Amino acid sequence: MRLRGIQFIYDNQGRKISAVVDLRRYEKEFAVFLQELSKKRSGGTTTNTNPVIGDTTDVVGSGGNNSGSTVNARKLKIDALLKTARSYYGVPYRTGGISRSGMDCSGFTQTSFKAIGLNLPRVSRDQALIGQSVAKSQLQPGDLVFFATGTPGRINHVGIVTDTSNPDAIRFIHASSSRGIMETSMGINYWVRAYIKARRVV
């Protein structure tokens, strides 16, 4: 029997949405989601750790196909990942860094993914070996994108896809050696030329 939680909730615009989650696998990410939703509903602050989340709060046992739950749980995990990654905006670049005092590109991705329970290798070329290969045309938020900004064909840079709404200007967040943690477009010629591959680990 699989434990599932929350069948219907309201988002911050009052729309009713479904969010069926496997609580045994994604309890931490689901708790983060609920806390953020509660803050939005209360104008940014909350003292209630058990927020009101709509008109139905069910925890039920279920067998059989759980593909809907898997999709929703993955989205919650990606949302938590991007929230963490964006919390580092402006952190300066520092070779070997993995903290808010400074990060390099792979330290940034490793730290961001660790926050959602996934341990990545320390360097970009090793991170490029995990997960599954993704075509550039099939990129989704949360995917890792790899670049060769030095020796041609040699991976030495990595970022996290944040927005794929414009296929010609897919956005990613990364640790820039000159500007620190920032978000930019893969449509810029520099990144078009440097792009090597993508991997999906969530």
Interval 7-21 mean pLDDT = 51
Active site residue 157: yes
Interval 125-149 mean pLDDT = 98
Q: What residues contact 138, with CB distance under 8 A and at least 6 apart?
A: none
Confidence check: pLDDT of 67 > 90:
no
Sorting pLDDT into bands at 50, 70 and 90, what band is 166? Answer: very high
- Per-domain residue ranges of the chain: 2-85, 88-200
pLDDT for residue 123: 98
This prediction's pTM: 0.68
DSSP 82-116: HHHHHTTTTPPB-TT-EETTEE-HHHHHHHHHHTT
Residue of 174, 181, 194, 196 with catalytic role = 174
Confidence check: pLDDT of 188 > 90:
yes
> Can you tell me the distance from the alpha carbon of 78 to that of 73, in angstroms, rounded to the nearest whole number?
9
Sorting pLDDT into bands at 50, 70 and 90, what band is 40? Answer: low
Architecture (CATH level 2) of domain 88-200 = Alpha-Beta Complex (3.90)
- Best CA proximity match to 40, nearest among 58, 53, 28: 53
Residue of 105, 173, 181, 194 with catalytic role = 105
pLDDT for residue 65: 56
Residue of 6, 20, 37, 157 with catalytic role = 157
Active site residue 130: no
Active site residue 160: no
pLDDT for residue 24: 57
pLDDT for residue 22: 56
Sorting pLDDT into bands at 50, 70 and 90, what band is 71? Answer: confident
pLDDT for residue 99: 96
Confidence check: pLDDT of 56 > 50:
no
Cα R_g (the chain), whole angstroms = 18
| Structure tokens that stand for 110 in this block | 């490793």
